[in-house]
Amino acid sequence: MNTQQLALVFPGQGSQKVGMLAELGESFSSIKATFAEASDALGYDMWDLIQNGEQAQLNLTETTQPVLLTASVAVWRLWCEQGGIKPALLAGHSLGEFSALVCAGALEFADAVRLVRARGQFMQTAVPVGEGAMAAVLGLDDAQIVRICAEAAQGAGVVEAVNFNSPGQVVIAGQVAAVDRAIELLKAAGAKRAMPLPVSAPFHTSLMRPAGEKLALALADISLKAPLIPVVHNVHGKTESDPAVIKTLLVEQIYSAVKWVGCVETMVAAGIETTIECGPGKVLSGLNKRINKSLNCFNIESPDSLAAALESVS
C-alpha cells in the first residue's frame, strides 16, 4: 500500500475497559514498557490498574484520559516496531487528538500523560457532578438536532450538539434539565433513539470554558513542536503545522463540538483509503465506515488484529 492511502486514528473516552490490551501486553514487551513510562510520570502502576482495577475507577475522566492515551501510544509504537508503514495522516476523537499529537512527534509522551490527567480534572470540576448530562441521538439530521437543542435551551439551560460522529449519530450535552427537555423534543421530532449516556460531565459544551482556560495555562508550560505527520483537528477538520495554533485548537476543543465527520471527510479527500484504529475497541472504525462506506477500517487491540492490520497494508 502507498503511504498516502493510510491514516491512523486514536479513540476517545468510552473505549476503556478492564483487561484492555492484555494479550498484546503478554506478547510484546514494548506495550508494558510504554505503560511503565506513563506510570513513572503519574506515580501509580497504570498497567495493574487496567488489568486488575475496577471499571468505576477506569471511568473517572482523570483516569480514563491518561489510560487511553497510553494505550494508543503503546499500540502506535508497536505498529512502528513491527514494520507498519508510516501513515499520511493522523487523527483522534477528542482526547485521541492528544494521542495523535504524541505519535506525530509534536508532544512529548510524559508531558501528554500529565496534561490529559489535568485536562480530565479540569473538565470534571468545570461543572459539579450531577448538574451535567450527555445523550446520543440517532436518526435525525444535524441541522434538526442543532435547531431542537436551541429550542430546548430556551428557559431550560444549556444544551448543545457536541459530537458529530457519523451521519445520523450526534451526541448532545448540557445542563440536566435542558438535555432532558431536548430528549423529549427530539423523540417527538422522530429520532429513532435519544438516550442518556453514562458520563460525569457535559463535555465539549460552552460550560467547559473554565476548563479551557485552565488547560491554556497548563499548555503554556509545555513545549509543542510542528507535527512530523499532519494531524486532522476536531475543531475544524483540518491539519495545522504551527505549534501556537495547535495549542489554541486544543483549548478550543474542550468547549467546541467534535466534528468527526469533517475529520474523516478531510482524510478521504486527501486520498486515504484505509484507517487503522490504535487502542481498545472499534468505535472509530464503526463510525468511519458509516461516514464513508468505501473506507477499509481496521483496529489494533490484540495480536490477531495487529496481524490483520499489518497484512492489510502489505
Whether 66 and 90 map to the same domain: the answer is: yes
User: Strand 89-92 vs strand 169-175: parallel, antiparallel, or unpaired?
Assistant: unpaired
Same domain (yes/no): 143, 257: no
* Catalytic site includes residue 236: no
Same domain, yes or no, for 182 and 276? Answer: no
- What per-residue confidence (pLDDT) applies to 14? 85
Whether 204 is catalytic is yes
End of a domain among 152, 170, 199? 199
What's the pLDDT score for residue 155?
86
Residue 151 shares a structural domain with residue 217: no
Q: Are residues 11 and 87 in the same domain?
A: yes
Among residues 199, 229, 255, the one where a domain terminates is: 199
The whole-number pLDDT of residue 3 equals: 75
| Domain, as residue range, for 152 | 132-199
Total structural domains within the chain: 2
**Phi, psi of 142, rounded to the nearest 5 degrees:** -55, -45
What is the 8-class DSSP label of residue 293?
A: T
Looking at the fold, whether 174 and 25 belong to one and the same domain comes out as no
Choose, from 39, 72, 99, 204, the residue flagged as catalytic: 204
13 and 121 within one domain: yes
| CATH code of 165's domain | 3.30.70.250
What's the pLDDT score for residue 36?
98
Residue after which a domain boundary falls, among 199, 228, 249: 199
In this structure, are 8 and 136 located in the same domain? Answer: no
pLDDT of residue 2: 74
Whats the size of the chain, residue-wise?
Answer: 314
CA-based torsion, 66, 68, 74, 79: positive or negative: negative
The CATH number of residue 65's host domain is 3.40.366.10
From the list 48, 58, 57, the residue with the least C-alpha distance to 15 is: 58
Q: Indicate the pTM of the whole model.
A: 0.96
**Phi, psi angle pair for 138, to nearest 5°:** -120, 135
pLDDT at residue 305 in the model: 98
Residue 89 shares a structural domain with residue 169 = no
Looking at residue 35, what is its pLDDT? 98
| Residue 223 and residue 86 share a domain | yes
Q: Are residues 179 and 231 in the same domain?
A: no
Q: How far is residue 75's CA from residue 72's CA, in Å, rounded to a whole number?
A: 5
Q: What is the pLDDT of residue 218?
A: 97
pLDDT at 291: 97
Q: Among 15, 72, 94, 166, which one carries the catalytic annotation?
A: 94
* One domain for residues 141 and 49: no
Phi and psi at residue 283, in whole multiples of 5°?
-60, -50
Q: How confident is the prediction along the chain (314 residues), in pLDDT tens digits per residue?
A: 777 899 999 999 888 999 999 999 999 999 999 999 999 999 999 999 999 999 988 888 899 999 999 999 999 999 999 999 999 999 999 999 999 999 999 999 999 999 999 999 999 899 988 899 999 999 999 999 999 999 999 988 999 999 999 999 999 999 999 999 999 999 999 999 999 987 778 999 999 999 999 999 999 999 999 999 999 999 999 999 999 999 999 999 999 999 999 999 999 999 999 999 999 999 999 999 999 999 999 999 999 999 999 999 98
Let me know: does 11 contact 280? Beta carbons within 8 Å. Answer: yes
